[in-house]
Structure 1
Amino acid sequence: MKAILFVLLILSCNVISTAQSIDKFSIDSGGANLTNGNVSIIYTIGEVNVAERTSATIKISEGFLSRFIKIKINPKVFLQGAAINTETNGLMNDDLRDLGLLPIASPFGDGKTVDVSVFNLGGTSSLGAFEDDIVDWVWLEFRDEMDVSNIIKGTSALLQRDGDVVALDGVSDITLGVVPKNYYIVLKHRNHLGVMSANPVAVTETGTAINFTSSTTATYGTNAQIALSNGDLALWAGDTNSNGEIRFSGPGNDANIIKDEILNDPLNGFNSATYTSVGYLLIDVDMSGGGRFSGSDNDSNIIKDNVLQHPENGFNSPTFTINTTIPEGN
């Protein structure tokens, strides 16, 4: 069934009177949300803004629109965990996809879902390039160029093995209803520390590329990413509770989170510290499909190495904390 498109256009008009006139570009910055069943309307008054809500058959857009505006963006990022012992140089491993552990619903809480066929080899056709296989979900965010804490829009997206962040069909560039202008660009992952551009980036309708894997792309804060052995940059792995910190020892450390989840796994009948918990897990730092606290290739050692070798940990202290470089958002 074709979607029905409603455009809610709130314009002022010139009021002829002896007292005053109201221009359409300056009324108020108000607005509201209205919901009735499965139809939601967002509207604003007096500001150039674009938003949209979609149901199975209805799409509603608002703002001072002369046409339907969508920006296009093509970010690129690597995850350290998925690049450990990589099968192919320059590509991340896709073990979670290969093991059938990737969820069709985003872990970031915005309600986005995909068809399971997107996780086929090379996308829905199963005939695509293997470098386009999906590694995991990521979160893409646009922040105000005048206030880095102000989140303008965020959305779930998918990450390919070659680092391309793509739309929910697993292959296309991301298009969003965002006013074309300058934004700080943020990319986050559920158990890695995120990254943000050092400066606002011009986002356009024709397309914008930003490559966080390259050292030529300036990022916000110091040592926002880790350098891989081939020179590419990647997000720091090891944030096992998604709190924006990576700790190996001390209160609330990530290694203990791994240990506790392993020991409390209902399938770990002998409470063995060398047990491997299987699933789509925050404690699976290397994204292999299994979380390990001790033994060979355990996830705790990745956290330890990151902490001890961090450029700002001058004393190689095991209690050093790697903090996210992304300002808190609102």
Structure 2
Amino acid sequence: MNSDPLYKRVICQVPGWTNVGEFTKYPEQTSVGIQLQAGAYYYVEVLHKEGTGNDHVNLYWQTPSNSTRTIIPGSVLARWQDCQPSVRVRMNLEGPWNTTTAMMSDNLRQAGLLPTAEPYAGLGYALVGSGGESVAPAMFNTTGKNAIVDWVLVELRDKNNPSLVVATKSALLQRDGDVVGVNGLPRILFNIAPDNYYVAVRHRNHLGVMSFASKTLGPNEVSIDFTLNTEPTYGTSARATLSNGKRAMWSGNTHPDGYLQYTGAQNDRDPILQAIGGAVPTNTISAYDLRDVNLDGLVRYTGVQNDRDPILQNIGATVPTNVRQQQLP
């Protein structure tokens, strides 16, 4: 059983024969406690050895609020290929990119600043069919290339009107660019009918990107790698180019309106100064904060690795009145 058949695992077994409805003959018949998400689909596979009796398989569960064994009815079971589409996503964030390791840094995780619940509902993002995703703190114990960088938002958009978001899922970005679900698996599953959808990725202080064309999502996994120059995206110059030639989402949208601005009304520079008190530009604060452009866990207006300079660099570095617009419809 698992939310993803590629990562199924044995949860219980019947080592011998049983009578119909005999659920407690062997200790192995009962699994340990499993946490299930309301409204989600789960893959259940039952294998049996051919014998001389009748072939009957019953699956039951007990919930925290009801210890009575309840057989799961066939009305809530379906062939897996008739269930939810999935997409495997790879992406980079420009802010935490480390040129030495050629991966993103996980400073937020190391500093213990990553929230265990997704931040996008609280930031006012339009979430469709999702929201409130959370993980156990142990999810952030992983180190190395699979360490968590931050929460991201994966969107499916209407094939005929890509400005219309039809499904969202909050997920976690690893240092190597893989996006994993809250179950830690590298496929993002959506409770939506199979069809063609545009795939977009968002981050709380980076400019979002979207696939150039709609993708056919169904029972077979679809992959999209936004780190590759060969993966076309919607719009013009939708991604930054990194030191190794890979692509990343533009950083610096501290005033999350889809525009990078260094000067003028609603610019992205002033919020950084305001975050550190508004008067002493050398101050710093440690926080999980929109104004932390490079995601190192510190908000800095001046000095090495400050959060102000990347904004100017991303609008061209020479004309402070330039503006870079997010390439989403």
* TM-score normalised to structure 1 length: 0.72
2:242 and 2:248 in contact (8 A); partners too: yes
Q: Is 2:255–2:267's contact at 8 Å kept on the other side of the alignment? A: no
Q: 1:284 aligns with which of 284, 292, 299?
A: 292
Shift of 1:116: 0.7
Residue in structure 2 matched with residue 169 of structure 1 by the alignment: 183
Q: Secondary structure at the match of 2:163?
A: strand
Please name the residue that 1:115 is paired with.
136
1:149 aligns with 2:151: no
Match for 1:305 among 307, 313, 322? 313
Q: Deviations over 1:218-241 (max 9, x none)?
A: 100000000011100000000002
Distance 1:280 1:178, change over 3 A: same
Does 2:101 correspond to 1:88? yes
Distance 1:66 1:132, change over 3 A: closer
For residues 166-192 of structure 1, the C-alpha deviation after alignment (integer angstroms, 9 at most, x for no partner) is: 111334422222222211000000000
C-alpha distance in structure 2 between counterparts of 1:203 and 1:56, whole Å: 35
- Give yes or no for the alignment of 1:208 onto 2:222: yes
**Which of 78, 101, 119 does residue 113 from structure 2 map onto?**
101
Question: Retained in 2: the 8 A contact 1:246–1:254?
Answer: yes
* Cα distance change, pair 146–252 in 1 and its aligned pair in 2 (3 A): same
Aligned-pair CA distance for 1:317? 2.1
Q: Which amino acid aligns with 1:97?
A: R
2:6 maps to which residue?
Answer: none
How far does residue 295 in structure 1 lie from its aligned partner after superposition? 2.0
The residue identity in structure 2 corresponding to 1:304 is L
Q: Single out whichever of 94-103 and 295-304 deviates more from structure 2.
A: 295-304
Contact 1:87 1:93 in 2 (8 A): no
| Mapped partners of 1:192, 1:161: distance in 2 | 16
Question: How many angstroms apart in 2 are the aligned matches of 1:282 and 1:230?
Answer: 26
Indicate conservation of the 8 Å contact 1:134/1:170, yes or no: no
Please report how far the alpha carbon of residue 151 of structure 1 lies from its aligned counterpart in structure 2 after TM superposition.
1.2
Partner letter of residue 286 of structure 2?
A: V
Matched, 1:228 2:242: yes
Instruction: Measure the CA separation in 2 of the matches of 1:174 and 1:71.
Output: 9
Contact 2:151 2:172 in 1 (8 A): yes
Shift of the 148–296 alpha-carbon distance from structure 1 to 2, 3 Å rule, reads same
Size of the alignment, in residue pairs?
Answer: 256
Which runs of 5 or more residues in structure 2 are unaligned?
Answer: 1-37, 40-62, 67-71, 122-130
Mapped partners of 1:221, 1:279: distance in 2: 33
Counterpart code for 2:140: F
Residue 190 of structure 1 corresponds to 204
What corresponds to 1:11 in structure 2? Answer: none
- Please tell me the residue identity of whatever aligns with 1:92: M
Separation in 2, partners of 1:221, 1:191: 19
- 305, 323, 329: which one aligns with 1:321: 323
Pairing 1:18-167 to 2, within 5 Å after superposition: 69-83=83-97, 85-89=98-102, 91-109=103-121, 110-122=131-143, 130-167=144-181
Say which structure is richer in strand. 1
1:259 corresponds, among 273, 281, 287, to: 273
- What's the C-alpha RMSD, in Å, of the aligned pairs? 2.8
For the Cα contact (< 8 Å) 2:94–2:250, is it kept in 1?
Answer: yes
Amino acid at match of 2:235: G
1:57 is displaced (CA, Å) by 7.5
Structure 2 Cα separation of the partners of residues 199 and 219 of structure 1: 8
Q: CA contact under 8 A between 1:307 and 1:321: conserved in structure 2?
A: yes
User: Is the 1:158–1:167 contact (alpha carbons within 8 Å) kept by the matching residues of 2?
Assistant: yes
- The gaps in structure 1 that reach 5 residues or longer are 1-39, 42-54, 123-129, 265-270, 310-315
1:110-146 deviation digits (Å, cap 9, x = unpaired): 2111111000124xxxxxxx21110000000001111
Instruction: Measure how far apart 1:70 and its partner are.
Output: 1.7
Q: Distance in 2 between matches of 1:161 and 1:262?
A: 28
* Structure 1 residue corresponding to 2:301, chosen from 281, 293, 310: 293
1:149 deviates by 1.4
Q: Counterpart of 1:199?
A: 213
Q: Distance in 1 between matches of 2:305 and 2:163?
A: 38
Q: Which runs of 4+ in 1 moved over 6 A?
A: 55-59
C-alpha distance in structure 1 between counterparts of 2:111 and 2:248, whole Å? 23
Contact 2:255/2:266, CA 8 A, preserved across alignment: no
